[in-house]
Amino acid sequence: MPSVDDRLESLTQHDDAQARALLQAATERSYKLPRGFAGFHAHTTVQYGAQVFTGKIHVQSPQQITIQVDDPAEHPATTATSMWLHGELRSMVGHRWPIPFEQRDGRYMLTQDTTPHLLGTRIDLHGDPLQSYYRVRGEQIMLVQRTMDLQSFTITMLAHSILPNGHSLPAHYVVVFRDATSQRIIRTDAYTDRFTQVEGCWLPHERQVVRQDADGLHAAVFVLYEHTLLRPDSEVI
């Protein structure tokens, strides 16, 4: 049975160095939180459909997020609302978490298709269980395509926010979900993201999602404010 080193060597032999350099540059231009980041605490206001509530969130990692609702008797957070807020926070924080490229997409063999395209060069991730590919243009990831079980989804970037140091953050993008077999569109989500700087760290400030599916039009938004950075070993609220 081949050793890990043998498999890595085989991967390198078939890897496209130019594709790797292109994707790595785009990934590293996207803002990441500093290494050793311990998390943050913030107040929040959430509107999910007709429901509105306020509360507090405590983030120690993408997998450790606690939500506390103010006055739950008067403003009870439904399971759907809590799950939505938790999932969106996990996504926003997870994409900014300081994980090296080599432990993210750099784990896979990368190849490119240089056929001209408005959204940039296509880079395929071979061996990725989600069958992912990207389109990269001008050191920006413009499109992400993944397949999960019976669905596939495509994220198309519409606008980035450029920070003073040249790093970028997502501002506006659209996610289209399709049936993986028929390619029939199941739903479309339009995202607007905003971030705020706290002690040199760019943290989530607001996310608005407008969804169109077979059940109609849906909208939800959360705003985070009064952020406080956590120190190591901070207690959960």
Instruction: Report the distance separating Cα 142 and Cα 144, nearest Å.
Output: 7
Each residue's pLDDT tens digit in the chain (237 positions)?
444 554 554 545 589 999 999 999 999 999 999 999 999 999 999 999 888 889 999 999 999 999 998 876 665 667 788 899 999 999 999 999 999 999 999 999 999 999 999 999 999 999 999 999 999 999 999 999 999 989 999 999 999 999 999 999 999 999 999 999 999 999 999 999 999 999 999 999 999 999 999 999 999 999 999 999 998 865 544
pTM for this structure? 0.88
pLDDT value for 236: 46
pLDDT value for 183: 94
Classify strands 185-198 and 168-179 as parallel, antiparallel or unpaired: antiparallel
User: Of 107, 134, 132, 108, which is closest to residue 119 (Cα–Cα)?
Assistant: 134
Instruction: Report the distance separating Cα 92 and Cα 94, nearest Å.
Output: 6
Structure tokens at 172: 């506006």
pLDDT value for 9: 45
**Domain residue spans of the chain:** 4-229
Instruction: Report the distance separating Cα 58 and Cα 40, nearest Å.
Output: 6
